[in-house]
Amino acid sequence: MEEQHKKILQQNRTNIVIDLDPSGVYDALFQKGVFTQDMIDEIKSSGTRRDQARQLVRDLETRGSRAFPLFLESLRESGQQGLVEILLNGAPTVQLQPAVPTVVRPIVQPLPIITDSSVDIGKQSQDIVPSYPVERPNNSPSPTPDNGHLKPRPPDRTRRDSLRCYKMDSSPCGHCLIINNAEFEPGCVLSDRKGSNIDCDKLKRRFMALNFTVEVKTNLKQKQIIHELSALSRKDHSQYDCCVVIMLSHGTEVRHSRFPGAVYGVDGQCVKVQNITNYLNGQNCPSLQGKPKLFFIQACGGEDRDIGFEVSPEEAHPSVGGEDDQTDAIPTSSSSDSLSTSDEVDARTSLPTPSDILVSYSTFPGYVSWRDTRAGSWYVEILDRILEENAATDDLVTMLMMVNHEVSQNSAKGLYKQMPGSFNFLRKLLYFQTSA
């Protein structure tokens, strides 16, 4: 497909996902040779109508230069003229050219060639056999139909777009538990987390907009955190498609064999992230088997401060942050050796393969996570905005990559940096529900 047509599809992806009725164009796209029947069956199996629309657009961009005008023609035939007008608004004139027929050339066998040099080698000269003109095969490429038209992908090539999507159409989609620890008990070394309530309010509104049932628990001790996670694991999630846990607290490094890090209760006692995820795994919560379990951790991964490294002018961006930036780190005697050589080896050799779990960390393990006392944490602020702007068109992993990039551009006090990341054990693409 030509780049100008790809750009049109990409710019209007949201409208296509919302308005397109894929079932109305399947037959036409098959008859016109844009898709094979196997491709159409694959699109149909991708999930809801919106999921199918997303998959159709992705596959359409991989077809030939005739794919875009044939798609418009199919939309007209199915009565989806409004979508045609949206796609043609400001687009260059599209003229449908007939496919170039394949040229069948005869196979030419060359005659033997004998040179006119003498073959007399101590023998009597022989009559010279005249040479005949020979038609040489033409090695230049002959005209063929457009490379993408009716040409299936090589069978040995893994298609990124062949990834299936999680079912995400239940209403509500699932439970979302937010644990917001902002005020810590006197006597422990943990300071109050100013700005955490702003984070909590943002994420509560965001996941309600994504059709989750949101429950907020505030200022929990270690045992209370464990109690809430245990209660969540005992719920019947059979009617739901997903489950989300969000932890807003101080954090630290701990020795681990699966997921790094730990978050603190307001009593100064921590809960390991790997234990938090265990409550919702397939063994402890059977009704969530095969369904995505998402964990968002806004807490420090340690006490190291990243001062970054010098980049080229093309990578440089204005810094964000100021004197009100604070960290969610706590000095701990165990943090300096929590990533010891023995622990790294143990983590690699015993790392399980938990399915359908994604843990998103606000910062790289071992480093602090920055929070503005007036605007909330960098990570949550950007995560909330990326979800608002892109959830209708992009999958979760793609959006988290956007979050990583934008947070990495910030600077605290003009010096310190932050790099979010995730441990991803999802098996499929995940698209949230969004309002039309």
List, as one string, the DSSP characters of 294-352.
EEEEES-S-SB-B------GGG-------TTEEE-B---TTGGGTT-HHHHHHHHHH--
Phi, psi of 434 (to 5 degrees): -135, 155
Dihedral, CA of residue 16, residue 20, residue 23 and residue 25, to nearest 10: -70
Give residue 435's pLDDT: 78
Residue limits of CATH 3.40.50.1460 in the chain = 174-308+317-424
233: CB partners within 8 A, 6+ apart: 279, 280, 284, 285
pLDDT of residue 300: 64
Nearest of 328, 315, 325, 327 to residue 414 by alpha carbon? 325
Q: In Å, what is the CA distance from 232 to each residue of 266, 276, 294, 408?
A: 20, 11, 13, 33
Contact 83, 16 (CB under 8 A): yes
DSSP 8-state assignment for residue 195: T
Task: Say if CB 369 and CB 377 are below 8 A apart.
Answer: yes
Q: Tokens representing 398?
A: 């793609």
User: Right CATH number for 174-308+317-424 from 3.40.50.1370, 3.40.50.1460, 3.40.50.620, 3.40.50.970?
Assistant: 3.40.50.1460
User: Would you please indicate which residues are annotated as catalytic (active-site) residues?
Assistant: 250, 300
The parts of the chain modelled with pLDDT lower than 70 are 90-163, 256-257, 300-354, 364-375, 410-418, 436
Name the token pair of 138: 């033409």
pTM, rounded to two decimals: 0.56
pLDDT for 111: 54
Report pLDDT for 375.
Answer: 65
Q: List strand residue ranges (DSSP E) for 207-250, in order.
A: 212-218, 242-248
The torsion defined by the Cα of 62, 65, 70 and 73, in degrees rounded to 10, comes to 120
CB 47 within 8 A of CB 165: yes
Helix (H/G/I), strand (E/B), else coil: 42: helix
Cβ burial, residue 122 (10 Å; 0-12/13-18/19+): exposed
Question: For the chain, where do the domains classified as CATH 1.10.533.10 start and end?
Answer: 3-90
pLDDT of residue 415: 52
User: Which helix (H) or strand (E) covers residue 399, if one does?
Assistant: helix 396-408
Residue 364 has what pLDDT? 67
CATH homologous superfamily of domain 3-90? Death Domain, Fas (1.10.533.10)
Please report the pLDDT score of residue 58 as a whole number: 86
Enter the tokens of residue 322. Answer: 């100021």
